[in-house]
Amino acid sequence: MSSIESETVALSEMERLTAHLRTQIEQTKRGDGLEFEEDEEYVKLQTENTKLKHRLAILNKAIAAEQNAHGSTAVIKYQPVKLPSTVNEMISITEHLVDLFTNAIALAFPNLAGTQAIISPVNATAAKFGDYQCNSAMSLAKTLKAAGVNKSPRDIANEIVKNVAPSPLVAKTEVAGAGFINVFLKKDYAVHAIENILRNGVKPPACRKQRVLVDFSSPNIAKQMHVGHLRSTIIGESICRLLEFLGHDVLRINHLGDWGTQFGMLIAHLEDRFPNFLNESPPIGDLQAFYKESKKRFDEDEEFKKRAYNCVVLLQSGDANSTKAWTQICDVSRQEFQKIYERLDVTLKPVGESFYQSRMIEVVKFLASKNLLEEDDGRKIMWADETSSGIPLTIVKSDGGFTYDTSDMAAIRYRLEEEKAEWLIYVVDSGQSTHLQNIYRAAERAGIFNPKIHRADHVNFGVVLGEDGKKFKTRSGETVKLSDLLDEGLKRALDKLLEKERDKVLTPEELKAAQESVAYGCIKYADLSHNRTNEYVFSFDKMLEDRGNTAVYLLYAFTRICSISRNCGEDFSDLVKILDNRTKIELEHEKEWKLAKTLLKFPDVLVKISKDLLLHTLCEFCYEVATVFSEFYDNCYCIEKNKSGEIVKVNRGRILLCEATAAILKQCFFILGLKPVSKI
């Protein structure tokens, strides 16, 4: 018995030991208990290791920073801009001065070489502060201070002035106030530049020529054009004219809304209304009414709806009959549009959405091949960037159809890859801004759009408001038809002319020309003279005023300027000849000089607009020229007459200045779409 007992005890003791060892092994595996072995050597090595790791991280970061810095210094390494020693034509004075002073800053402060000079024109009323100002000293002082160098802006300005190279444009520079550098223009330059206008016409400032595609107007087939399209059309046209003047290769594209589900119902309706459409053109007098009828049926008649969908499928698959019906509908619409374009003197090449049908299929394949499409509840979507934030583009709908996103992706691809455009300009209302941003980013992600070589601008604009400050509508609350609006413009313009009794002075032809010039001119000018990003109030009363910054005022002013040379009793038709006869532009009188300097701003204005595409700056420039001219005209005799009205003296130099003014204004008018008439 006792042996069994002792055996049992021994066994349970062994079991206990086994369990104990097992837990110890487990603990050792986990590392428990090992950390207490405080080996001095081990601790030392561990500290050393931490230190080395830390140092390595620091060194790596320093290397990365240095490489970055080297990369950028290579670019920054300043090469002074080469500036011409003689200038005989109008150039952008601001650009010239920026280069001139950027060079001077680099010479005066080699550490800051490459810092671009800040140049701003001085208001004409503050002529004692020069004509332009370089305001770099203040910001340079800050930069230097941050780097531990304390220098007053005035000292900095003085050092810059010391380092300014002589320039054919600059008469003198002086430091004023806290550190402003005042720049005074040279009269010689002005004289040469203005003579150049008279000899060779108004020339654009130099710039790199690009292939530009301007997408504007873009109405929808079968719908009326409204004032929103009017804005896009007017702004787009002026941008094209400006870019063409600057020498760019401009594609004027009308991205017509000629594709989509609405055509199903239109075709179905056409088939019902004009069963014989395949053989003869259907007489759709009022496409608008036609559209409304079909829409009504579409909404109310389930059967019709089904047929309409069917028609879409047929059309998109290229069915001949459907295509014919579609073409007929589009033709009617396009003719309507064309009438308006002609009245507004607008040129456009229609490349509608339908054009991209095959390219949409292609672009879907292309995006899919790049793994950019994601399934989402039956749809295929694409995120504009990797972070999958914002709103995704819907590339394929759940029913397999395409969306605006698809056509816009296909269009941007076509424009950049096939049309080889370098610069895309979308003249579309501000509401589309997010959509367009999405398109650029998605195109960039897909490798279509490359910001390094491509430029894309959304020329956005605000809504048109009525005089009541609400959305522009007819009295009955309907959308204003564009043709009606133009008609009303014509009527109002005529009323204005009759009110001024111009009918008694002008021939009927002259009166009609004046009427159209005033009517269309004022509608365009009212639109362009407002900052396009703001909403603007459409008011015939305002735009037909003959005072202030209006088309009417400018047209009158221009006619008056042109009449001066006509009335001087001498022949000013050949300006080159007059110049060759040693007639000099003097610019002695303060107002002459002021007028000349105003005209010389023309290239600056164009360069600025080519950057921000804000045309109201050009309107402001026109208005400034007109007002400065009238100051000049009030103060300086061009033609001196005696009491009996006989011409005593003709101040030829001044008349040349008038001619130059007219030339510049004429060029501006052309860009703005104003048609000056010789008599008004």
Partner 1 sequence: MPHCLVTCSSKIFCKKFYPTFVTYIYAAVKSKMENQELLSQFQALGMSEQKAKETIKNANVTKNLQLALSEVKNTALGEGVGMLLYHMASKIKPQIIHELPLVTRYIVEKKLDNTLRVDAALEYLLKNIQKKGAVVNTKEFNESCGVGVIVTPEEIERTVQEHIKLHKDMLLEQRYHFNAFKIMQEVRAKLKWADAKSVKAAIDVEIFDLLGPKTEDDLKPPPKVEKKKEKPSTSLADKSSNNAKLAHPSNVSIDSSDGANTIAELMKNKVHFHTPGENYKTDGYVITDHTERLLKEHLKQTGGRVQTRFPPEPNGILHIGHAKAININFGYAASKGGVCYLRYDDTNPEKEEEKFFVGIREMVEWLGYKPYKITHSSDNFQQLYEWAVVLIRKGLAYVCHQGADEMKGFNPKPSPWRERPIEESLQLFEDMKNGKIDEGTATLRLKLTLEEGKVDPVAYRIKFVPHHRTGNDWCIYPTYDYTHCLCDSIENITHSLCTKEFQSRRSSYYWLCNALEIYCPVQWEYGRLNMNYTLVSKRKIAKLITERIVNDWDDPRLFTLTALRRRGFPAEAINNFCAQMGVTGAQISVDPSMLEAAVRDILNISAPRRLVVLEPLKITLINFPHDKPTEIEVPNFPQNPDAGCHHILLDRVVYIEKSDFKLDPEKGYRRLALDQPVGLRHAGLVIYVKEVKQNPQTGEVLELICECKLAEQAEKPKAFIQWVSQPIKIEVRLYDLLFKHKNPEDTNEVPGGFLSDINEDSLSVLESYVDRALSNVKVYDKFQFERIGFFSVDPDTTENHIVFNRTVGLKEDAGKK
Other CB atoms within a 10 A radius of the CB of residue 626 amount to 21
Residue 426's Cβ-count burial label (10 Å; 0-12, 13-18, 19+) is buried
Is 566 near partner 1 (CB under 8 A)?
A: no
SS3 201: coil
CA distance 357 to 332: 21
CB of 116 to partner 1, least distance (A): 24
CB of 159 to partner 1, least distance (A): 18
Cβ pair 372, 382 in contact under 8 A? yes
- For partner 1, which is the closer residue by CB, 1 or 147? 147
Only segment of 80-88, 144-152, 371-379, 571-579 that touches partner 1 (CB under 8 A): 144-152
Among 148, 166, 283, 508, binds partner 1 (CB under 8 A): 148
CB of 152 to partner 1, least distance (A): 13
Question: What token pair was written down for 204?
Answer: 């654009």
CA distance 447 to 464: 37
CB of 372 to partner 1, least distance (A): 36
Only segment of 52-60, 193-201, 322-330, 480-488 that touches partner 1 (CB under 8 A): 52-60
- For partner 1, which is the closer residue by CB, 59 or 313? 59
Q: Where do runs of H (alpha helix) occur along 345-432?
A: 357-369, 404-413
Which has the closest alpha carbon to 125: 603, 609, 631, 622?
631
Other CB atoms within a 10 A radius of the CB of residue 419 amount to 15
- For partner 1, which is the closer residue by CB, 12 or 111? 111
CA distance 424 to 439: 12
Task: Transcribe 100-132 into DSSP letters.
Answer: HHHHHHHHH-GGGTTPPPPEEEPPGGGGGG-SE
Is 142 near partner 1 (CB under 8 A)?
A: no
Cβ pair 361, 396 in contact under 8 A? no
Contact pattern for partner 1 over residues 164 through 203, marking x by CB under 8 A: ----------------------------------------
Is 21 near partner 1 (CB under 8 A)?
A: no
CA 356 to chain centre: 25
Among 17, 43, 58, 81, binds partner 1 (CB under 8 A): 58
How far from 423 is each of 247, 617, 677, CA to CA, in Å? 14, 22, 35
Which H helix or E strand runs over 52? helix 40-76
**Sites for partner 1 among residues 81-100 (CB under 8 A):** none
CA distance 246 to 137: 33
- For partner 1, which is the closer residue by CB, 69 or 278? 69
CB of 60 to partner 1, least distance (A): 9
Among 16, 20, 22, 51, binds partner 1 (CB under 8 A): 51
CB of 46 to partner 1, least distance (A): 13
Among 147, 320, 453, 648, binds partner 1 (CB under 8 A): 147
Is 57 near partner 1 (CB under 8 A)?
A: yes
CB of 55 to partner 1, least distance (A): 5
Among 9, 149, 289, 647, binds partner 1 (CB under 8 A): 149
Only segment of 124-132, 143-151, 246-254, 471-479 that touches partner 1 (CB under 8 A): 143-151
663 Cβ contact partners less than 8 Å away, ≥ 6 residues apart = 197, 198, 201, 202
Among 16, 22, 55, 649, binds partner 1 (CB under 8 A): 55
Q: What angle do CA 664, 665, 667 make, to 5 degrees?
A: 65
Which has the closest alpha carbon to 621: 587, 586, 667?
667
Only segment of 49-57, 122-130, 351-359, 413-421 that touches partner 1 (CB under 8 A): 49-57
Among 54, 292, 370, 420, binds partner 1 (CB under 8 A): 54
Which has the closest alpha carbon to 326: 260, 276, 401?
260
Question: What pairing do the DSSP bridges indicate for beta strands 211-215 and 379-382?
Answer: unpaired
**Sites for partner 1 among residues 596-635 (CB under 8 A):** none
- For partner 1, which is the closer residue by CB, 59 or 76? 59
- For partner 1, which is the closer residue by CB, 150 or 317? 150
**Dihedral sign from CA coordinates of 439, 443, 445, 449:** negative
- For partner 1, which is the closer residue by CB, 145 or 162? 145
Question: What token pair was written down for 574?
Answer: 């050949």
Total residues contacting partner 1 by CB under 8 A comes to 14
CB of 38 to partner 1, least distance (A): 12
Is 50 near partner 1 (CB under 8 A)?
A: yes
CA distance 591 to 313: 70
Residue linked to tokens 């941008």: 239
CB of 248 to partner 1, least distance (A): 46
Which H helix or E strand runs over 259? none
CB of 172 to partner 1, least distance (A): 34
Is 306 near partner 1 (CB under 8 A)?
A: no
- For partner 1, which is the closer residue by CB, 50 or 73? 50
Only segment of 45-53, 156-164, 193-201, 545-553 that touches partner 1 (CB under 8 A): 45-53
CB of 436 to partner 1, least distance (A): 39
CB of 111 to partner 1, least distance (A): 12
CA distance 579 to 109: 45
CA distance 238 to 615: 8
- For partner 1, which is the closer residue by CB, 49 or 398? 49
Cβ pair 422, 392 in contact under 8 A? no
- For partner 1, which is the closer residue by CB, 75 or 146? 146
573 Cβ contact partners less than 8 Å away, ≥ 6 residues apart = none
Contact pattern for partner 1 over residues 59 through 78, marking x by CB under 8 A: x-xx----------------
Contact pattern for partner 1 over residues 636 through 675, marking x by CB under 8 A: ----------------------------------------
Residue 4's Cβ-count burial label (10 Å; 0-12, 13-18, 19+) is exposed
Is 52 near partner 1 (CB under 8 A)?
A: yes
Only segment of 147-155, 211-219, 268-276, 328-336 that touches partner 1 (CB under 8 A): 147-155
CA distance 233 to 347: 10
Question: What token pair was written down for 634?
Answer: 């009030």
* Residues within the interface to partner 1 (CB under 8 A): 50-52, 54-55, 57-59, 61-62, 146-149
